[in-house]
Amino acid sequence: MEFGTFLWTTLGAVLTLAIFSFLYKDNPFYKFAEHLVVGVSAGYWAVILWHNGLVPNLLERLRDGDWYLGWLNSSKPWYLIPAILGLLMWTRFSKKYSWISRWPISMYIGIATGVAIPLEMSNRVNKQLYAAMSKIHWDNFFGHGFLDTAAAYSEIIIIIGTIAGLIYFFFSKAHTGAFGTIAKIGIYILMIGFGASFGLTVMARISLFIQRIQFMHEDWAVVAFEETNPNYGWFQFFFWLVGFIIIAYIARELYVYIKNRDKQMVKPS
Amino acid sequence: MRYILIIFSLILITFSAVIGQVDPVVTDSLAPVPAPPAPVTEVAVSDKANDHGHALIIEWKRSLDDGAGSNAVMLYEIFRSEFPDSAFKMVGSVPLGNERFEDIGTIEKESRDYIPDNTNLYYRVDAVTIDPVVRTSSEVYGPVQSYSNWFHKGRVPVLTAVLIFGALMVYFVSVARKGTELYVRPLAGIAAVDDAIGRATEMGRPILYILGLGTADMISTIASFTILSRVAKQVAEYQTELIVPCYDPIVMTVAQEVVKSSYLDAGHPDNYKEDSVFYITTNQFAYVAAVNGIMLRDLPATNVYMGKFYAESLILAETGAVAGSIQIAGTDEVGQLPFFIVACDYTLIGEELYAASAYLGREPIMLGSLKAQDYAKAAVIVLMILGLLAINVHLNAFIEIFKVVD
């Protein structure tokens, strides 16, 4: 293992442990990892935004214009409009002119909503409605094995579930009587769906945890602990340094705990 | 003479040996050369319908040697030119058995894939054998032009639905404006917001409002702004502290405006703190790490999660539960709802999030739209049942009315 690889892998392992330490409680190790990841990601995002957003979508498109003419002579001068709207956002830094920043915001929200409405109607209403109008295969109900019959019943369950679920989301009518019963069936069906989704996602999360443990074990500990590792000395140094900091922190925590306990035990005379 | 014969024999032997050595090589290089395949026929090119232009559809009848005859065709290569007899450029290929290719270009003139609109174009299709040199070109088809369409005929059902829904909305908004009382059933999660703000005031601890990871153009984020407005107004009245850490800078800007307006409406503009709505980072788990830290350090009495949430939902909600906060969540992200239901005290499921903003706002526009939504849902149920009946009695034409073509 090269020294650079060793260093970054060790750092990754230490930061993993620092994040896991949150399971105990908020502590300086977690705070360090938190601030590091927030700072790095904010900086990283700014660079990404520059290279993937501003450069290809604005600067590249105005490149054939001249700056002293305000890029008005470029082949696509209309890209100056979003550029100006973007610049107007900077008026937020002025108390006097911050109201101007509402223009680009209103434009952004207005356009986005206008785009979203037909899209939502298409994807969440029309297409779902079309898909729900499926053929019920009545022949599947008879003369088949148990599982086949169960699969056939699923068509009926989907139809009833969809209608009951929709009725649950009626807001202008009280959920009472027969209407309330159907709405209750709807929420039960939703909850069954949520339960299945929960289990599935928890499994995925556990696999992520296993992946992290594998990183700690295979990518870091096994390689670093080997005496043949040319950076074994460095590893020992880091290991004992981190170990010492952790032990010192635990000792401090214990000291604070005992001190507070003694204070609580002192009864008023 | 004997020497001449010997020399002649040696020459013959050498020559035959050379032939013997060369022969297999020659055989290899002259491996069965496929015969040129039969050309594709009936090439037809048309503009791609219902699009923004810069795209054409090329169709043809397969070569007779594709899957039959000499079986030599391996693929078809499609060529385009602005001239009928020269400068053809390959624009794509499809494997044997295909009779269609969509030449979809871009609008960008600088791009290699640029296809000019309203310009004469010529196409030809080559039937190519395993040896790319051996091929047969079709007759050149053209001229043909691509152009953009103003109207997408495949989306007529969407337009109809939007118009019907819009009409319903206009009607119910006007009804609500006339003062007619429109009933909205109570939502437990929203009723709890008032109690939660009161609790925070009594405890002297802040309220943490998370707008999620959505951008400002998402419907759930827009609904969340309305709820934030209401929460901020009450917070201003009770003079409690509000913390709104944001994931997206635009969302932060809008949220600042919303909170500022709410403080103004509540009659306490001086109590508004610019720093109460702040940006953290646009990185999912870095954001989560920072919010978790806030939860455990500032110990908010109430955490409100409204908007678009992804994998961070459980991490946030679980940390909030550990910190002992009352938690109210709402999202239309179906995959994350189970986590909020498990870890929060109240959860607004899907559309309840949108209804909550109407319930809280009590404005005619909001209430009217909510009523219109209910009628639209009733229409969907009726149409669904009719569609089910229709398809089971083989009236397929009925359901085709609702089909959306992208």
Distance from C-alpha of A146 to C-alpha of A152, rounded to nearest angstrom: 10
* pLDDT score, position B19: 46
Residues in A touching B217 (Cβ below 8 Å): 108-109, 111-113, 115-116
Q: A41 and B342: CB-CB below 8 Å?
A: no
Tens-binned pLDDT, residue by residue, of chain B (406 aa)? 555 655 655 555 555 444 444 444 444 445 567 788 999 999 999 999 988 899 999 999 999 988 888 888 999 999 999 999 888 999 999 999 999 999 999 888 878 889 999 999 999 999 999 888 889 999 999 899 999 999 999 999 999 999 999 999 999 999 988 888 888 888 888 888 888 888 899 999 999 999 999 988 888 898 899 899 989 999 999 989 999 999 998 899 999 999 999 999 999 998 899 889 999 998 898 999 999 999 989 999 999 999 999 989 989 999 999 899 999 999 999 889 999 999 999 999 988 888 887 787 678 888 888 899 999 999 999 999 999 889 888 888 888 888 888 7
User: Which of B162, B185, B342 is opposite residue A174, by nearest beta carbon?
Assistant: B185
Identity of residue B207: I
Helix (H, G, I), strand (E, B) or coil at A147: helix
Structure tokens at B61: 């009848």
User: What is the rounded CA–CA span in Å between residue B302 and residue B324?
Assistant: 9
Residue B20, pLDDT score: 45
Partnered with residue B313 across adjacent β-strands are none
* CA distance to partner chain B, nearest, from residue A54 (Å): 15
For residue B163, the chain A residue with the least C-alpha distance is: A118
Q: Of the CATH numbers 3.20.19, 3.40.50, 3.30.70, 1.10.860, which one belongs to the domain with range B182-362? A: 3.40.50
Residue type, B138: S
Select the residue of B183, B283, B380 nearest A41 (Cβ to Cβ). B283
Task: Name the residue facing B281 among A45, A102, A190 (closest C-beta).
Answer: A45
Predicted confidence at residue B405, as pLDDT, reads 86
Q: Which two tokens stand for residue B355?
A: 């209804």
Burial A125-141 (b: 16+ CB within 10 A, else e): bbbebbebbeeeeeebe
Judge: A42–B296 Cβ closer than 8 Å, yes or no: no
To the nearest whole angstrom, how far is the Cα of A262 from the nearest Cα of chain B?
25
Looking at beta carbons, which residues of chain A come within 8 Å of B155? 118, 122
**Distance (Å) of CA B183 to CA B2, B355, B374:** 126, 12, 12
Q: Dig out the tokens for B277 from the structure.
A: 């709505």
- Among B287, B374, B404, whose Cβ lies nearest the Cβ of A172? B374
The pair of structure tokens assigned to B104 is 């979809």
pLDDT at residue A216, as a whole number: 85
Q: How high is the pLDDT of residue A268?
A: 56
Cβ of B286 and A108 within 8 Å? no
Closest Cα partner for B66 from B135, B145, B16?
A: B135
Q: Domain boundaries in chain B?
A: 41-144, 182-362
**Out of A26, A40, A44, closest to residue B296 by CB:** A26
Among the partner residues B155, B216, B384, nearest to A122 by beta-carbon distance: B155
CA distance, residue A225 to nearest chain B CA (Å)? 30
Mutate to test the interface with A, among B109, B190, B349 (most CBs of A within 10 A): B349
Asked if B387 lies within 8 A of A125 by C-beta distance, the reply is no
| pLDDT tens profile A140-166 | 766 666 666 777 788 888 889 999 999
pLDDT along chain A (269 residues), means of 10: 76 87 85 91 90 91 85 88 91 88 88 87 91 77 67 83 93 90 94 91 88 85 73 78 85 86 65
CA A193 to chain centre: 21
Question: Which token pair is A228?
Answer: 């043949």
Question: Residue B103's pLDDT is what?
Answer: 93
Q: How far apart are CA A136 and CA B392, in angstroms?
A: 7
Asked if the Cβ–Cβ distance from A102 to B257 is below 8 Å, we say yes
Say how far apart CA B304 and CA B270 lie, in whole Å. Answer: 24
Alpha carbon of B406: minimum distance to chain A alpha carbons (Å): 9
Q: Do A105 and B182 touch (CB under 8 A)?
A: no
pLDDT for res A108: 86
Pick the CATH number of B41-144 from 1.20.1250.20, 2.40.70.10, 3.40.50.2300, 2.60.40.10: 2.60.40.10
The whole-number pLDDT of residue B141 equals: 93
pLDDT of res. B261: 92
Contact B286 A42 (CB under 8 A): yes
Distance separating alpha carbons of residues A73 and A62, to the nearest angstrom: 9
